[in-house]
């Protein structure tokens, strides 16, 4: 089961969270089966999310989608995110 992790800094967590929550239907349509959001203890605007998918192709499609890039811009993501994909072992 591929799991996508994305860590980024956001301008305002509350504003980011609204966009993230509104994006849930797009995530589901892209194949997300489970997700979670974490904030750094010392900086609530340092956010890490995970999304589980059924296949690596779904991960790649999700990451390559224009909808994701636009949502991240609307949400106030600052700078380039750190992205990594794992397989549960």
pLDDT in tens, the chain (89 residues): 899 999 999 999 999 999 999 999 999 999 999 999 999 999 999 999 999 999 999 999 999 988 999 999 999 999 999 999 999 88
Burial class (CB in 10 A: 0-12, 13-18, 19+), 28: exposed
Cβ neighbours for 70, distance < 8 A, ≥ 6 positions apart: none
At how many degrees (to 10) do helices 13-22 and 66-75 cross? 150
Two tokens at 3? 């799991």
Q: What whole-number distance in Å separates Cα of residue 84 and Cα of residue 61?
A: 15
2-87 — its CATH code? 3.30.70.100
pLDDT of residue 65: 86
Whole-model pTM above 0.85?
A: yes
């Amino acid at each position: 089961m591929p799991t996508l992790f994305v860590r980024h800094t956001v301008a305002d967590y509350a504003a980011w969270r609204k966009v993230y929550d509104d994006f849930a239907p797009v995530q589901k349509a892209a194949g997300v089966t489970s997700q979670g959001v974490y904030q750094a203890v010392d900086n609530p605007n340092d956010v890490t999310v995970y999304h589980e998918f059924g296949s690596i192709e779904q991960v790649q499609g999700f990451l390559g989608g224009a909808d994701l890039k636009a949502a991240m811009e609307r949400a106030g993501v600052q700078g380039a995110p750190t992205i990594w994909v794992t397989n549960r072992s």
